[in-house]
Amino acid sequence: MQTIKFYLIFFLSLYLESRSYIDYESPYHPVVGTEGMVASQNYLSSEIGVEILNKGGNAVDAAVAVGFSLAATLPRAGNLGGGGFMLVYIKEKDEIFFIDYRSSSPLNSNLENIFDLSSNSTKKLESLPKNFDEDKYELVNTGYKASAVPGTVAGLLEAHKQFGKLALQEILEPVIKQAKEGITVTYDLHKAIESTPRLEFDKESRNIYFENNKPLKENSIFIVPGLANTITLIAENGRDGFYKGETAEKILAAMKNNGGLFSKEDLDSYKPYIRAPIVANYRGNKVFTAGPPSGGGVTLLTALNILDKYNLSKYQSNSTITYHLISEAIRRGHNNRSSEVGDPIYYDVPLNQLLSNERIKELASSINLKKASKASTVKPIEVINESRDTTHYSIIDSDGNAVSNTYTLGASFGSGVTIPGTGILMNNQMNNLVYKSGDVSKIGRSVSPGNKFQPGKRPMSTMAPVMVFDKEDRLSLITGSPGGSYIPAAILRVVSGVIDFDLSIGDATMLPRVHKDWPYRGIDYEKTLSSDILYNLNRIGHKTEANKTMGSTQSIHIVNGVNYGFADLRRPNSAAVKQIAK
């Protein structure tokens, strides 16, 4: 009998081994490793990040290299001329830091010079009149006036200064080599250039991204003139290699020659801020993200706090009620950021009220499990007193230090402007501020007092880098996404997929995504969502509209000391790359 039992166990173990190896449970396979790992929107930049880890650098060193590298490999979103938010986790300190290096409006900007209003104005405008037609003045979307003061270089260097390990020159050496040698133009890059007319309106951008008046051909070599020199100056001089000296002079000269608004004072005075992240407890897991001027962080945590009141695990990840609840929670999250979120230096953001138990109860109580809510039933908080071409990357090193970083130029290729001789593409983030604040004839974020334009102010953003710690306070997930207002929904789907439905990071990433904003529209959905779910959502009152894919999450899921990296398949050329143990 014992012999029979032994053979049964033996053959069963062989069967299970064979099954686990051959019968894959999912078509979405993560990269698996026990050392460092980098997940970014371009495989070449991920490889450079791992190269820095192999040199003995930590996660922050790798993050700096990846951030600079993406300026060459993903020029429509990776940037030196933009800004962003970073979370840094230092394992030895067991502490998370939020670095705000969001772009800021020029100090001498005002409504008159932004919109080229008549210089005969007898008084300074506090906000645009209700009947002002912004379209006639081409609201700061392209060209030199569209750009806020860039913070990327200052932010990455501040992270390195505070938490880095290797010398800056050593970190940037492979990035400079990459910029000098150039990269091969992919189909995706070719099509991105082809679909961005604003590049043709700027002489320097036209010279770089077009050849014989046509977008660079696929498989040609793409070299950005001046970019290697710009990064070399930063490697040698740190912050002064960008905000002072040769590069600063070129930026200021170009601004002066093209009606831009930057001054020497803007570059001299720009600084990143190290702040505390904001956090929500979601089913015993701590979800950390960026606070103001991030509105995306408030949106995400609001939605998670609402969903925490429902036991999603008793439903399927692709059930109608799951999509209904996610949509209603995200709608209320966007409502919560609609009015009172902005740059905390200029506006007293009532975070404690926005994320309070009372506010969450108020928002959750307006949800009907069997019927879609009307926008009018969701009210903004009363207090007494957005582009998809962002990019994200996630990094962990072998010591457990981690970085979650999201940064942006705004629109694809930003303002379309490249500073001559530098390779620096400029952002168009001035259009993220609100110019009609307080217009009672309107509703929504377009009149938000928290995000009202002021010189020197940082615009609200939906960027929301995320780190999740499990019930034992161990780092379990690093993630984030581009996607404009779709960012919170993309991240929420991944976090919920992992926590609520115990999915692998690949399966959680590839769940169909939905987005419901406030107060503007019904549910936007990805076309992978089933027709049955769509029928049911429409039946209970949601107005559904097919949309493009939402976001591009770059994630690392840590389970029992093993890293599982997954680069979202929604956008091409991304990759999770692991460090090989020596």
Residue 441, pLDDT score: 47
Active site residue 232: no
Bigger pLDDT: 412 vs 383? 412
**Peptide bond before 519: cis, by omega within 30 degrees of 0?**
yes
The pLDDT value recorded for residue 477 is 98
CA distance 333 to 354: 10
Percentage of the chain with pLDDT > 70?
Answer: 88
CATH 1.10.246.130 in the chain, residues? 275-387+460-560
How high is the pLDDT of residue 383?
45
The Cα angle at residue 555 between residues 550 and 557, in degrees rounded to 5 = 135
What is d(CA 496, CA 484) in angstroms, rounded to the nearest whole number? 20
Q: What is the pLDDT of residue 98?
A: 98
Question: What is the mean pLDDT of the segment spanning 476-504?
Answer: 97
**Which has more pLDDT, 146 or 437?**
146
∠ CA 248-251-257, rounded to 5°: 135
- pLDDT score for 491: 98
Q: Please tell me the distance from the alpha carbon of residue 511 to that of residue 312, in angstroms, as a whole number.
A: 15
pLDDT tens-place string over residues 435-460: 876 554 456 677 788 999 999 999 99
Instruction: Quickly state the pLDDT bin for 384 (edges 50, 70, 90).
Output: very low
Instruction: Enter the pTM of the model.
Output: 0.93
CA distance 497 to 505: 8
Q: Which helix (H) or strand (E) holds 162?
A: helix 152-163
Q: Is the pLDDT of residue 121 over 60?
A: no
The confidence score (pLDDT) of residue 385 equals 37
Q: Which of 474, 448, 470 is nearest to 461 (CA)?
A: 448
Kind of pairing between the strands at 273-275 and 95-101: antiparallel
pLDDT digits (tens, 9 = 90+) for 322-331: 999 999 999 9
Single-letter residue type at 563: N
Give the pLDDT confidence score for residue 440 in this predicted structure. Answer: 47
Average pLDDT of the residues in 134-139? 55
385 neighbors 449 (Cβ within 8 angstroms)? no
Report which DSSP code applies to 434. B
Q: CATH class for domain 275-387+460-560?
A: mainly alpha
Q: What are phi and psi of 406, to 5 degrees?
A: -125, 130
Q: How confident is the model at residue 114 (pLDDT cuts 50, 70, 90)?
A: confident
| Catalytic choice (73, 299, 390, 479) | 390
Residue 21 has pLDDT above 80, yes or no: no
**What is the per-residue pLDDT across 321-357, written as a single tens digit (0 to 9) for each?**
999 999 999 999 999 998 899 999 999 999 999 999 9
The dihedral built from the CA positions of residue 407, 410, 413 and 418, taken in this order, carries a sign that is: negative
| Residue 488: closest CA among 271, 338, 265 | 338
Residue 317 CB: number of other CB atoms within 10 A? 19
